[in-house]
């Protein structure tokens, strides 16, 4: 099954095409806040490089995040509208799973990590390999590295874009050399492979309902505080 | 030419089908008010999340309601300038994808330009040139419309938008969100002269507005009443505040019409639905020999039909965008000199 995969959750965006297990194209580009400006042009050039047209694509895969909320919304909307306008199925793939899959040759526990923005908060999850793919063990994690380190009780490989700082902190905390690290970026072809497997299994998502994976609440709470403070000041002033 | 319009610049997710820039086949508007009400204002992150959830459904419904399929769409127009960046991005991503997939032209529209076209959709006979006042919760702008796609921006607000002042006062008085309709309703029972609120920049020569000081005066009047233990004349406060806003809007718009020697005024945007504003502008128009046009109520607030109409006009002038189209959250309505 010929699938186009995209992931726009990080500082770089990814576009790839896979036919079953065979990768036809895999392209990563730095966006610098130009994700929207670049995404369609890059999809077009990746398809052209792979020697295919949009009409040849049989399904779409979309990285759902977590990561940059704004970035993910662009990717999810593009994937959703590609599927809608071509009448082909779409499948969303959690970006942590994409990173874990890219380390599926590891026998130890696999722990992908994605930065959650300010304050040193991270998203993470644990995966184990099996049947040449990975399976999530437990829930998604959101918190800080020391807390995450406390959950590690066996050899683990950390997978992240900027993995050395995480490895340093966690290795120190655990005073252990059972923490390996692997630098990795979510790849578009990986998204396509994982989506193809599920689409071939007859598990597409509801196209129009496709939505990002938000592990954190929105900033509404901060908004309330800002306004109530202002209202209080106005009342006192 | 059948144009699919998409508008997601603030808290309305909208898609519309407009034929030849004038016939509205559908205009679907998914309002997010319920999500933002408890915050007394639009929360950008909540709006962007909701747009992402709704955009596909809204586009699909616009096609259904218009009795057309995607294959019938000949161009896609989208609000690309002026608004909340996270919200703009969702509509623009959808529009770009459809343009690419359907292989039809793409055109990005300035949100204020859309509001100018709302009047044309409701009143095809509106003459050119005219002066257009666009007034809502997000913007207050006075534009000289020389021709379609040829504008001169005369002035805007230096602080709050007029509709924003309505929202903030309604929030302060605990009247609910959005503030415009509530204050409009309360004001009908109130005395417009009960409080002599300031008319900011009324005499200033430039066409700029300021509503922040007025808002503070209203809040102080409210606190004064509260301190003196009198019963609060909410209706009087609402009526007096609304009158001050309308006075300023009218004075500036009339002065612009005189200076630019036009006998037509258009008033658009969410606040153009305000009953007192319509009454005062219509009376002044009669008195001064100026024709005043308002869009149908359904075209006052943000909607995609007005974006489709504006996009059609740009396409007719050869102004399509390519797939590198990006959004710009804060940019003045550009002056276009065509041919
Ligand atoms: Zn508007």
Query: Do A108 and A178 fall within a single domain?
Result: yes
From the list A186, A184, A141, A143, the residue with the least C-alpha distance to A10 is A186
For residue A230, being part of any structural domain is answered with: no
Which CATH number belongs to the domain containing residue A142 in this structure? 3.30.420
List the strands of the sheet with A59-63, edge to edge: A22-30, A12-19, A2-7, A59-63, A90-93
Asked if A70 lies within 8 A of B56 by C-beta distance, the reply is: no
Query: Do A200 and A127 fall within a single domain?
Result: no
Query: Do A191 and A88 fall within a single domain?
Result: yes
For residue A232, being part of any structural domain is answered with: no
Here the ipTM equals 0.93
pLDDT at B335: 61
For residue A214, being part of any structural domain is answered with: yes
E strand intervals along chain A: 2-7, 12-19, 22-30, 59-63, 90-93, 109-115, 122-130, 133-143, 156-160, 179-183
Give the nearest chain A residue to B173 (CA atoms): A231
Chain A hits for B57, CB-CB cut-off 8 Å, are 208
Query: Do A175 and A121 fall within a single domain?
Result: yes
Q: How far is CA B200 from CA A41, B21, B210, B217, in A?
A: 48, 38, 6, 11
Query: Do A6 and A90 fall within a single domain?
Result: yes
pTM of this prediction? 0.93
- The percentage of residues in chain B with a pLDDT greater than 90, rounded to a whole number, is 82
Asked if A81 lies within 8 A of B97 by C-beta distance, the reply is: yes
For residue A128, being part of any structural domain is answered with: yes
Chain B hits for A76, CB-CB cut-off 8 Å, are 52
Domain count, chain A: 2
pLDDT at A162: 85
Confidence category of residue A171, pLDDT binned at 50, 70, 90: confident
Question: What is the rounded average pLDDT for all residues in chain B?
Answer: 93
The CA B5 to ligand 1 mean position distance, Å, reads: 15
Query: Do A45 and A34 fall within a single domain?
Result: yes
The CA B154 to ligand 1 mean position distance, Å, reads: 17
Query: Do A64 and A137 fall within a single domain?
Result: no
Q: How far is CA A32 from CA A83, B10, B106, B190, B253, in A?
A: 27, 24, 24, 53, 42
Chain A hits for B98, CB-CB cut-off 8 Å, are 81, 85
Query: Do A85 and A101 fall within a single domain?
Result: no
pLDDT at A71: 95
Query: Do A179 and A199 fall within a single domain?
Result: no
Is B100's Cβ below 8 Å from some Cβ in A?
A: yes
Which CATH number belongs to the domain containing residue A64 in this structure? 3.30.420.40
Give every CB contact of residue A76 below 8 A, 6+ residues apart in sequence: A62, A64, A92, A210, A211, A212, B52
pLDDT at A45: 97
The CA A106 to ligand 1 mean position distance, Å, reads: 54
Confidence category of residue A220, pLDDT binned at 50, 70, 90: low
Query: Do A71 and A13 fall within a single domain?
Result: yes
Beta strands A2-7 and A12-19 are antiparallel
For residue A171, being part of any structural domain is answered with: yes
Domain boundary among A134, A161, A183: A183
DSSP B172-199: HTT--SSHHHHHHHHHTTS-TTSS----
For residue A236, being part of any structural domain is answered with: no
Average pLDDT estimate for A129-133: 91
Question: What interhelical angle do B162-172 and B234-259 show, nearest 10?
Answer: 170
Integer Cα distance of B236 and B232 in angstroms: 9
Beta strands B75-81 and B2-7 are parallel
SS3 (DSSP) at B27: strand
Is B223's Cβ below 8 Å from some Cβ in A?
A: yes
Asked if B93 lies within 8 A of A224 by C-beta distance, the reply is: no
pLDDT digits (tens, 9 = 90+) for B215-265: 999 988 888 887 887 777 899 999 999 999 999 999 999 999 999 999 999
Is A89's Cβ below 8 Å from some Cβ in B?
A: no
pLDDT at B174: 87
For residue A113, being part of any structural domain is answered with: yes
Asked if A54 lies within 8 A of B101 by C-beta distance, the reply is: yes
- Please tell me which of the candidates A36, A212, A214 has its beta carbon nearest to residue B326: A36
pLDDT at B338: 39
Query: Do A190 and A87 fall within a single domain?
Result: yes
Chain B hits for A92, CB-CB cut-off 8 Å, are none
The CA B138 to ligand 1 mean position distance, Å, reads: 6
pLDDT at A228: 47
Asked if B60 lies within 8 A of A234 by C-beta distance, the reply is: no
Q: Residue A161: which domain range?
A: 96-183
The CA B324 to ligand 1 mean position distance, Å, reads: 24
The CA B29 to ligand 1 mean position distance, Å, reads: 13
Question: Which DSSP state fits B39?
Answer: T
Query: Do A68 and A17 fall within a single domain?
Result: yes
For residue A51, being part of any structural domain is answered with: yes
pLDDT digits (tens, 9 = 90+) for B174-218: 888 889 999 999 999 999 999 999 998 888 888 999 999 999 999
């Amino acid at each position: 099954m010929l699938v186009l995969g995209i992931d726009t959750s990080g500082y770089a965006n990814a576009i790839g095409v896979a036919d079953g297990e065979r990768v036809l194209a895999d392209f990563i580009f730095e966006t610098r806040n130009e994700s929207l400006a670049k995404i369609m042009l890059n999809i077009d050039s990746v398809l052209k490089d792979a020697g295919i047209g949009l009409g040849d694509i049989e399904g779409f895969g979309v990285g759902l995040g977590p990561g940059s909320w704004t970035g993910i919304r662009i990717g999810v909307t593009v994937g959703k509208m590609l599927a809608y306008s071509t009448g082909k199925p779409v499948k969303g793939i959690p970006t942590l799973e994409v990173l874990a899959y890219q380390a599926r040759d590891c026998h130890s526990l696999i722990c992908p990590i994605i930065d959650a923005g300010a304050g040193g908060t991270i998203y993470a999850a644990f995966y184990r390999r099996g049947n040449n793919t990975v399976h999530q063990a437990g829930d998604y994690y959101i918190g800080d590295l020391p807390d995450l380190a406390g959950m590690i009780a066996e050899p683990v490989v950390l997978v992240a874009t900027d993995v050395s700082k995480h490895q340093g902190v966690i290795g120190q905390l655990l005073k252990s050399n059972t923490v390996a690290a692997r630098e990795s970026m979510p790849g578009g072809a990986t998204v396509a492979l994982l989506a193809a497997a599920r689409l071939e299994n007859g598990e597409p998502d509801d196209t129009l309902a496709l939505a990002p994976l938000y592990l954190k609440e929105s900033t509404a709470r901060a908004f309330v505080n800002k306004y109530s403070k202002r209202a209080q000041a106005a009342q006192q002033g | 030419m059948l144009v699919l319009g998409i508008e997601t610049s603030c808290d309305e997710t909208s898609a519309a089908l407009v034929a030849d820039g004038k016939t509205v086949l559908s205009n679907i508007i998914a309002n997010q008010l319920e999500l933002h009400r408890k915050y007394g204002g639009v929360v950008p992150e909540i709006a962007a999340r909701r747009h992402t959830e709704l955009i596909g459904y809204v586009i699909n419904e616009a096609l259904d309601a218009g009795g057309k399929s995607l294959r019938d769409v000949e161009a896609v127009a989208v609000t690309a300038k002026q608004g909340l960046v996270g919200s703009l991005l969702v509509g623009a991503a959808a529009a770009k994808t459809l343009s690419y997939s359907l292989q039809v032209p793409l055109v990005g529209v300035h949100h204020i330009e859309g509001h100018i076209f709302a009047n044309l959709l409701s009143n095809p006979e509106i003459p050119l040139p005219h002066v257009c006042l666009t007034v809502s919760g997000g913007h207050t702008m006075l534009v000289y419309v020389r021709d379609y796609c040829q504008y001169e921006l005369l002035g805007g607000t230096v602080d709050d938008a007029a509709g924003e002042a309505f929202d903030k006062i309604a929030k302060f008085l605990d009247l609910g969100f959005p503030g415009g309709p509530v204050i409009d309703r309360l004001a009908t029972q109130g005395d417009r002269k009960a409080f002599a609120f300031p008319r900011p920049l009324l005499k200033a020569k430039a066409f700029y507005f300021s509503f922040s000081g007025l808002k503070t005066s209203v809040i102080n009047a409210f606190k004064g009443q509260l301190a003196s233990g009198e019963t609060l004349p909410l209706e009087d406060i609402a009526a007096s505040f609304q009158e001050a806003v309308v006075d300023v809007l009218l004075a500036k718009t009339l002065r612009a019409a005189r200076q630019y020697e036009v006998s037509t005024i258009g008033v658009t945007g969410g606040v153009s639905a305000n009953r007192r504003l319509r009454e005062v502008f219509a009376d002044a128009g009669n008195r001064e020999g100026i024709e005043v046009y308002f869009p149908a109520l359904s075209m006052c607030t943000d909607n995609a039909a007005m974006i489709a109409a504006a996009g059609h006009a740009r396409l007719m002038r050869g102004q399509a965008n390519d797939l590198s189209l990006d959004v710009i959250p804060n940019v003045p309505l550009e002056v276009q000199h065509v041919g």
